[in-house]
Amino acid sequence: MSTPFISANGWDSSNPILAWLEKYTSTFFDARDFTPASIARLHTTDYIFVGPDGTSASDRDSSWTLIKAIYGPFVAHSHEPYYAVVTEGDKKGEWIMLGLAKAYFVLPGEGKEGEVKSKDGKEWDVCVPAAYRFCFREEEAAEIGGLLLSRTEVFSDSGPVVKVMMQRGLMPGQ
């Protein structure tokens, strides 16, 4: 196993895994390009997603149904990484990235606009600190860097988002 790559500088394109993930995040995920063709070209067929509440799906199609349900209510979202560790997985051709990021969201409805600003100066309704575990698999047919995403686990507190959604009447209170 090789020495882990550690970055405390956000996106670090000197590492091929982080370079791949930056492109994936900016041109696909945060751009909300959730088309079947894009999903298929970036994920393994056995892709697994585990959401922040522990809900999981065990194949690419059901994972994307779950991801769309989680991210669907947002008008926009962005991920701003600030720490990452990349290491080889247990099997040849597997890679793992553990990362920390600020996740920014804009929600529909009336409310205080621009509650928080990201590094790039954009205004967002809410920011949530989050941790992620991504697993990648080298695949010859993969279009970007010879990699496909095989697993995503999200660890975050949905409380701040739920609070804004309840204030805006987007979900019922108790």
Domain 5-167 sits in CATH 3.40.50.620: no
Tokens matching residue 28: 């696909």
Model pLDDT for residues 69-124, shown as the tens digit of each residue:
888 888 999 999 999 999 999 999 999 999 999 999 998 887 766 678 999 999 99
Rounded Cα–Cα distance for residues 117 and 126 (Å): 9
Rg, Å, the chain Cα set: 16
- As a 3-state breakdown, the chain gives helix, strand, coil percent values, each rounded to 5, of 25, 40, 40
Least confident residue range of 45-49, 54-58, 140-144, 169-173: 169-173
In the chain, domain spans: 5-167
